[in-house]
Structure 1
Amino acid sequence: MISNRRHFFRQLTGLGGAMMLSGTSFDSWAETEASSVKLTILHTNDTHSHLDPFPPGDRNAGKGGVVNRARLLSQIRQQEENVLLFDAGDIFQGTPYFNLFHGEPEVQSLSMLGYDAITMGNHDFDGGMELFARQIRDHATFPVLVANYDFTNTPLKDIVKPYKLFKVKGLRVGVFGLGIQPKGLIPSKLFGDTVYLDPLQKANEVAAFLRNEEKCSLVICLSHLGFKGNASEIIDPVLAAQSRNIDLIIGGHTHTFLPEPKTYKNLDSKPVIVNQVGFGGINLGRLDFTFDRVSKQVFSSGSNLTIG
């Protein structure tokens, strides 16, 4: 069976040596006769309403900003045919833009920049679920993905989905989101009747579905769990080590500036790439995956790019 084959995942730059990736289907490429397909994954996290570059005098002066991000995204899209763009949460709260306009320009900017999906951070609840739902409904051209929040009895019931499937030149890319434990971070009146579900359990459940039922060549988690924390918390490195079927974790919450993506081994000793690019829209994460149908290998490289 194709889903049971084992394929090599070789890191070319910054990510280490040759490793194994299982479940990649190379026989589903009905849309192309090419011997290989390159997929570029771009991502941000914790932009926190920073629509302008950081001001003079700040240690990050001139960096970030929606215009600078748009320019960099345009350059990459001109160079690469297959690009997906994601955000790992906390698009709200952090500058007067949120206080004055209540999230509308943040969501509009993500739509104009062509984001393909985002997940929710704890600060995305700061204006209440009704506000978040209205801004997404009125201004978003992308889905919001969270698999471990049950929004059944909330205004986000029909707004937030657990996962989305993307088809790129015959490749199937499954993407799902995870939200952080709200206790101590999100006021109960703002979290409302949302039910928090164990992120590790939901991650394994959704990733198995995407890999085995949807036959995804790549499974990506948009995580707002954080890169570091105490021993009892499910953070991204713990999620990587205690999961199956996840290939890439795009992280947020802890504002961690990783110089390059890191790789961990999961429960099956398969590699899981983890990346996070700080806060404020200063950096853009980039990972390039080349799926080679002839050699049955997947090659990847990763780098974190400064915006501005």
Structure 2
Amino acid sequence: MERRTFIKSIGASSLWVGVGGLSSVSMKPATTKHITILHTNDTHSHIDPLPKNDPINPNKGGVARRAALIEKIRNENPYTLLFDAGDIFQGTPYFNFYGGELEFKLMSMLRYDAATLGNHDFDNGIEGIIAQLPHASFDFIISNYDMTNTLMNGHISPYKIYFSNGIKIGVFGLGVQLEGLVNKDKYGETVYLDPIEIAQEMENKLHKNERCDLIICLSHIGYDYRDNPNKVNDLKVAAQTSYIDLIIGGHTHTFLPHPTQVTNRAGKTTLVNQVGCYGINLGRVDFFFEEEKVAKNKSIVIEV
């Protein structure tokens, strides 16, 4: 069958809205293929809302509210995918007591499609991750960790491909350098590979070999490091690649009011987004595709 060509534009408007603002998403004509991407990062075992006396985000977040939002959005558009950019574990007594079982079970109930690994996901060691994998019904994607000589071998993928509404979506993952952040005995023989080199390899594979219509990177390397300009980050990955449409970031707990638009090596726009931490916000990016026509996207950060 001849492959159809979908063309998209990244010249999108962006919004920061509360729960009541969901209706502000404009819809394209029925002939347009619409894909919704939802995402979280650095939830850190926050199952309940933050306490009412929290000085910054009182009574915000909570898995129950997130579940209601996700269900509402899926009812609006059944062609919705849900991703997480790492650091699922560590931060509340739920992790101390259950070791990650509750987090994976709830993410499975919310029907996450995939997650990448953050440094705190190694806090109970690779054995701790393995012990909880039976509770996870979603994919784990990490491209720049060679875990061949660990127990994780066979349990992770460098990339995955998803099909939704006739659109082929390629997803790969990038993790932060574990040395200096995590004790060696926790990550064992995991080998860290250069994120930019791997990102270029993955995007070429997904664009040229797999011929994906949409390419997404789940990243836990951090948005930006102003105190260390030589350190690799999401903005650098975006600028030094050519085919990534969206980088879903984590690690630096960066609250972005809207995605950053970065001009990539091909002169096109790559969106970089991150929604803070602790499940306070839910990220949303809507992509619209038309055959042989330019379509646009909208992006939203939703307060939970």
TM-score with structure 2 length normalisation?
Answer: 0.91
- Residue 169 of structure 1: CA displacement? 2.0
Unaligned runs of 5+ in 2: 16-29
After superposition, where does 1:75-114 map in structure 2 within 5 Å?
75-114=72-111
Task: Name the residue aligned to 1:174.
Answer: 170
The 1:7/1:167 distance shift into structure 2, 3 A limit, reads closer
Q: 1:127 aligns with which of 86, 99, 124?
A: 124
Aligned residues: 285
In the superposition, relative to structure 1, how do residues 205 and 74 fare at CA in structure 2: closer, same or farther (>3 Å)?
Answer: same
Closer/same/farther in 2, CA of residues 8 and 102 from structure 1, 3 Å limit: closer
Give the aligned residue type for 2:284: R
Number of the residue aligned with 1:214: 210
Per-residue CA shift, 1:143-189, capped at 9, x if unaligned? Answer: 10000000111011011111100011221000010000112111111
2:249 equivalent in structure 1: 251
Counterpart for residue 30 of structure 1: none
Superposition pairs for residues 1-308 of structure 1, below 5 Å? Answer: 7=7, 9-14=9-14, 35-58=31-54, 59-136=56-133, 138-229=134-225, 230-293=228-291, 295-307=292-304
Structure 1 runs (4+) greater than 3 angstroms displaced: 5-8
Secondary structure, in 3 states, of the residue corresponding to 1:297? coil
- Normalised by the length of structure 1, the TM-score is 0.89
Instruction: Tell me, yes or no, if the aligned pair for 1:10 and 1:297 is still in contact at 8 Å.
Output: no
Runs of 5+ in structure 1 lacking a partner? Answer: 16-33
Question: Secondary structure in 2 aligned to 1:298?
Answer: coil
Query: One-letter code of the match for 2:57?
Result: N
Q: How far did 1:14 drift?
A: 2.2
Contact 2:34–2:286 under 8 Å retained in 1 = yes
Deviations 1:45-73 (A, max 9, x none): 00000000001100312111110100111
* 8 Å contact from structure 2 (residues 6, 213) kept in 1: no
Counterpart in the other structure of 1:31: none
Residue 7 of structure 1: how far off its partner (Å): 4.2
Q: Deviation per CA, 1:68-124: give whole Å up to 9, x if none.
A: 100111111111121000000000000000101100001111100110000000000
Q: What is the CA–CA distance in structure 1 between the aligned matches of 2:44 and 2:112, rounded to whole Å?
A: 16
**Displacement of 1:10 after TM fit?**
4.6
For residue 205 of structure 1, give the secondary structure of its aligned residue in structure 2: helix
Give aligned-pair identity as a percent: 49
